[in-house]
Amino acid sequence: MSVIWKAKARFLYDLIFAGMTVFALGLANAEYGDFSYFTLVVAYFLFCWFEFRSITFAFKKNVAVKSIQIDTRSREGELDLNISYISPLGFVITFGVICNQLFLMDNNLFYIEGLGEISEIERYEWVLFAVDNFIRAVCLDFFETFNVHISRISSQNYYVLMFVFIYKTTLGVFFLKSIYNLYNATILVKESNF
């Protein structure tokens, strides 16, 4: 088995596992159902941290390489969680948690299509809202052009729209670049270890 194939398999495994971990954390945080300043503040700080780490990975390839090296040296297994991938994915999930908390704080901040009562919205829909905006940012607004939505949540509030704009801008510019640098760093570290 070639070194590059092993690195690619490791990258896919780590990315899927990190995605499932972050998705589970997002669902767990959204399941509380009540507004909490603590949850809002913690999610906001995590959002800022994940954004900072993603931007760092996007612009400084050597930071991505060092992060992958530290991750692989700190564990013995060949294929297990590479925590460096959590930052870009955590950025997406914490966006959904923050929007959920803002909705619970003031349900007039968001418009929910087809919502008769507040209790009808499911908690997983906030993760879908984050993923919907992620897809719109990364796919260069292809879905926006054709008005395709996977989430029925939207907003007309200026502050929420600015938050969505910052989220989409960061994702569009930095997310793919940071994942690309982490992927290349994984291959580089694997090749240097063999």
Contact 171, 138 (CB under 8 A): yes
Cα 74 from Cα 90, distance rounded (Å): 21
**120 CB contacts (<8 Å, ≥6 apart)?**
112
Alpha helices in the chain (DSSP H): 3-30, 37-59, 61-73, 86-105, 124-138, 142-145, 158-170, 176-193
- pLDDT tens, position by position, 145-185: 777 788 888 888 999 989 988 888 877 777 778 778 888 88
- What is the share, in percent, of the chain residues with pLDDT greater than 90? 1
pLDDT at 73: 67
Average pLDDT estimate for 42-55: 83
Residue-wise pLDDT tens digits, 66-84: 877 777 765 554 445 567 7
Residue 79 has a pLDDT of 41
Among the listed residues 38, 79, 59, the one whose alpha carbon sits nearest the alpha carbon of residue 182: 59
Q: Sign of dihedral through CA atoms 102, 139, 11, 55? A: negative
Q: Which of 46-60, 87-101, 109-123 has the lowest mean pLDDT?
A: 109-123
Residues 132-150, mean pLDDT to the nearest whole number: 77
What is the gyration radius of the CA atoms in the chain, in angstroms?
18
pLDDT band of residue 189 (cuts 50, 70, 90) is: confident
Partners of residue 112 on adjacent β-strands: 153
Q: Name the DSSP letter for residue 60.
A: -
**pLDDT the model gives residue 13:** 63
